Amino acid sequence: MLQVRLAHNGDAAMLFAWRNEETVRQQSFNSDPIDWATHVRWLEMTLASSDQLICIALEGDKPAGSFRLEKLTDSTVLISITVAPMLRGQGLGSRMLRLAAEQCRSRFGPVTIVAQIKADNEASLRAFAKAGYTLRSVTMELQCD
């Protein structure tokens, strides 16, 4: 059974490894590797923010992924999600998204949850659809060589 707990500073190394994993970087809008000092500063600021929430999803006692909720406005929260590399392809993403929605309602009340997903990130698009999210628009990222 998938459970969720709040992230803490002790999760820094795990979150750092997941964020810098090649597949995650390819699907991120900022695909550059993040250095340790930058990551630690970001995590400390995020954990201290009343407008953000980071949670770790657990499959049993094993970390299965993470999600972050960021309040953008009084009525909109941005969600981002990462499934642990060794557990991808098992349907955890959609289950994590449902748990994230519960955490979002508990923390921020009735809001619209939005995500920014690259158009070619089929795994995320499937997970969000399976969790009941609706695709409203597609943003293409263009690269100029």
Residues 36-67: pLDDT tens digits? 999 999 999 999 999 999 999 999 999 999 99
Residue 140 has pLDDT above 60, yes or no: no
| Averaged pLDDT for residues 75-101 | 92
* Other beta carbons less than 10 A from residue 97's beta carbon: 23
What is the pLDDT, as a whole number, of residue 138?
59
Provide the 3-class DSSP secondary structure of residue 132.
coil
Looking up tokens 């590797």 gives: 33
Q: Give residue-wise pLDDT tens across range 3-46.
A: 999 999 999 999 999 999 888 888 887 788 899 999 999 999 99
What is the pLDDT, as a whole number, of residue 109?
92
Residue 44 DSSP label: H
| Averaged pLDDT for residues 118-135 | 87
Provide the 3-class DSSP secondary structure of residue 69.
strand
Residue 124 DSSP label: H
Fold type of domain 2-130: Aminopeptidase (3.40.630)
